[in-house]
Amino acid sequence: MPENPEGGRLVLVGAPLGNPADASARLGEVLAGADIVAAEDTRRLSRLTRDLSVTVAGRVVSYFEGNEERRTPELVQALLDGATVAVVTDGGMPSVSDPGYRLVRGALAAGVPVTAAPGPSAVTTALAVSGLPCDRFCFEGFLPRSGGARRSRLRGLAAEERTLVFFEAPHRIAGALADLAEAFGPDRPAALCRELTKTYEEVLRRPLGELAEWAASGTARGEITLVVAGASAVPASRPDDDALRAAVAALETAGSSRRDAIAAVATEYGLRRREVYGIVHAD
């Protein structure tokens, strides 16, 4: 590996997902002290530093998908010249479905130290609030944009036993959920996490079929992280109606409202809430 006697250093900075109060003190120190701050969106960086009362003394450059390949050699050269370069994205950790990977590889190849000021991650945050198993999971990032390629990818993931995490854009979420429900089955438990840590944060914990129906109405807005149960989390067999009614009744006896009891039983057995509701209220 080449030597780097000048002392340049690359720092990956974990930015808040939405709430500036989630920023660490170290984030502010790194941004204030860096010779160059490579930002996915310089306007968002400006708002963040203003919210944190941080003054960036170094040079700020844009570093996003459209110019990442072209700008990486320039930043590697700056690192070789001794600069401390901080990379910050719109939210979360650089390199995780965001700019940064190319620069990390370039810096390592040039013998430049790479470190991080770790911070929030939409992947682990969504996992934690999803109510789905978190001990084993895999992150799939963004699904292919074209329907055919997306369906092909999902067919290959249908038997995956670990919890799956996806990123998706609002204008593609309806198509993605429809394809997920088809490939994984409409009863597969999932959680759609929207605008995490922001004012209008919303977490919808429903089977894929219900989420697909919700998204088809065109109400999805903001940044979306989707968590889907692995194949091993899907019940092998559906309990009979009497057992479902008994499970709901037991939760009600323990203090749950009927609505919450129905939702909990539906989630536990990978069923639609309306199906459990119909069974509970059947004559």
Query: Domain holding 135: CATH number?
Result: 3.30.950.10
Which residues is 6 bridged to in the sheet? none
Question: Same structural domain for residues 204 and 275?
Answer: no
In whole angstroms, how large is the CA radius of gyration of the chain? 23
Domain that holds residue 223: 123-233
Question: Same structural domain for residues 81 and 183?
Answer: no
Nearest to 180 by CA among 164, 162, 204: 164
Dig out the tokens for 232 from the structure: 């091993």
Q: Is 54 a member of any domain?
A: yes
What is the sign of the dihedral through the CA atoms of 226, 144, 173 and 99? positive
Q: Give per-residue pLDDT as tens, 178-205.
A: 999 999 999 999 999 999 999 989 999 9
Q: Is 196 a member of any domain?
A: yes
- Please identify which residue in the block is written with the tokens 């009979």: 240
Q: Give per-residue pLDDT as tens, 11-49.
A: 999 999 999 999 999 999 999 999 999 999 999 999 999
Q: Give per-residue pLDDT as tens, 126-172.
A: 999 999 999 999 999 999 998 899 999 999 999 999 999 999 999 99
Question: Same structural domain for residues 128 and 227?
Answer: yes
Question: Same structural domain for residues 245 and 221?
Answer: no
- Which residue, 61, 87, 120, sits at the end of a domain? 120
Split into its structural domains, the chain has a count of 3
